[in-house]
Structure 1
């Protein structure tokens, strides 16, 4: 397993080793001991979530605040997405910065997103199945979000605006400045 910390401290790209032969492939997607070792602390995941979306769907930019904040380990089971995280830690040197990384079933990459980050993705392939583990249970009263096209974040979603598909809820999200972070 190759683990690389991104420019956002505490956010890691994880590349599991894939063993391929004429039958297919095998990979270990999660190992608590290895995970704890590279993080230098224990994270206990308590909830798994999965979504299926078609090309152009944006599910973004979401976060949980306070005692219900969530760290996530995300990956793609089928298809390709552009995964985006935004640093919401006010005391961080990278507050308000983001990274974007392509996750796919082909590259097998995973992304660990610590608490206090907004997260979202856009589907780049015809369809995609997205899977993630959370270290805290979802709490509706603690959810927040930032509009995907906030000009201060300057996120390149890699698709033309007319191809993007958002829920009505995501269309109503505030900009970064007014997100109440």
Structure 2
């Protein structure tokens, strides 16, 4: 991967790549692997970008797809009892801000798709943009965001395990 491509085409979107990768990983090592794989896939797939959407939308979609693929691959490699996100996430956060860690811990309790939706919402993407990235319709996204926010509020208040 050329330095110019990374600097011009990936680095401006690094914040969202970091957020999405963080939402799908529990350790620094996994986070770094996911981030590296996303960057590699962006570089490998760059010629497949057809301009039907914004470059940023394509980056979001590709990042989500890579993270979901890696997560499923990891799940297949582990017995269900070996993969315990709550215990694994303790003390292995990518960032030191405790309130942010609590939010990510709550987000990790959501379904894979709901994680992606709320991350895009937190990035202030419009319902239409989220629908385009996720592959859904705008009305469905609105309803899901409302339900996700309610679930997160309960999780953060300690009312749901």
Higher relative CO (CA 8 A, sep ≥ 6), structure 1 or 2? 1
Same fold (TM over 0.5): no
Structure (1 or 2) with the greater helix fraction: 2
Structure (1 or 2) with the greater strand fraction: 1
Bin for the TM-score computed over the shorter chain: under 0.3
Task: Report the TM-score when normalising by structure 2.
Answer: 0.24
Task: Report the TM-score when normalising by structure 1.
Answer: 0.22
